[in-house]
Structure 1
Amino acid sequence: MPTSPTSPTTPADAASGASDDAPETILLELVDEYGNTIGTEEKLTAHRPPGLLHRAFSVFLFDERGRLLLQRRALGKYHSPGVWSNTCCGHPYPGEAPFAAAARRTHEELGISPSLLAEAGTVRYNHPDPASGLVEQEYNHLFVGLVQAEVRPDPEEVGETAFVTPAELAERHAAAPFSAWFMTVLDAARPAVRELTGPSGGW
Structure 2
Amino acid sequence: MPITPANGQTAGTTAVNPPDGTAEPILLELVDEDGTTIGTEEKLAAHQPPGLLHRAFSVFLFDDRGRLLLQRRALGKYHSPGVWSNTCCGHPYPGETPFAAAARRTAEELGVAPALLGEAGTVRYNHPDPESGLVEQEYNHLFVGLVQAAPEPDPEEVGEIAFVTAQELAERHRQAPFSAWFMTVLDAARPAVRELTGPAAGW
Q: How does 1:175-194 map to 2 (within 5 A)?
A: 175-194=175-194
CA distance in 1 between partners of 2:125 and 2:153 (Å): 28
What is the one-letter code of the residue matched to 1:85? S
Structure 1 partner of 2:9: 8
Contact 1:24 1:43 in 2 (8 A): no
**1:30-76 CA deviation, whole Å, 9 max, x = no partner?**
00000000000000000000000000000000000000000000000
CA distance in 2 between partners of 1:24 and 1:175 (Å): 39
Alpha-carbon distance, 1:167 to partner: 0.6
Alpha-carbon distance, 1:7 to partner: 6.0
CA distance in 2 between partners of 1:13 and 1:35 (Å): 19
Aligned-partner SS, 1:187: helix
Structure 2 partner of 1:60: 60
**1:123-144 CA deviation, whole Å, 9 max, x = no partner?**
0000000100000000000000
What is the one-letter code of the residue matched to 1:113? A
CA distance in 2 between partners of 1:7 and 1:69 (Å): 34
Structure 1 partner of 2:151: 151
5+ residue gaps in structure 2? none
Seq. identity, %: 81
Give me the TM-score of the superposition, normalised by structure 2.
Answer: 0.94
Contact 1:31 1:37 in 2 (8 A): yes
Contact 1:28 1:54 in 2 (8 A): yes
Aligned length: 198
What is the one-letter code of the residue matched to 1:36? T
**1:3-45 CA deviation, whole Å, 9 max, x = no partner?**
11126334x8514349xxxx98100000000000000000000
CA distance in 2 between partners of 1:130 and 1:8 (Å): 35
Structure 2 partner of 1:161: 161
What is the one-letter code of the residue matched to 2:82? G
What is the one-letter code of the residue matched to 2:9? P
What is the one-letter code of the residue matched to 1:6? N
CA distance in 1 between partners of 2:50 and 2:17 (Å): 27
Give me the TM-score of the superposition, normalised by structure 1.
Answer: 0.94
Aligned-partner SS, 2:124: strand
Aligned-partner SS, 1:25: coil
Structure 1 partner of 2:126: 126
5+ residue gaps in structure 1? none
Please list every run of at least 4 consecutive aligned residues from structure 1 whose deviation after the TM superposition is greater than 6 angstroms: none
Is 1:81 the counterpart of 2:81? The answer is: yes
Change (3 A) 1:7 1:141: closer
Structure 1 partner of 2:100: 100
Query: What's the C-alpha RMSD, in Å, of the aligned pairs?
Result: 1.6
Contact 2:115 2:145 in 1 (8 A): yes
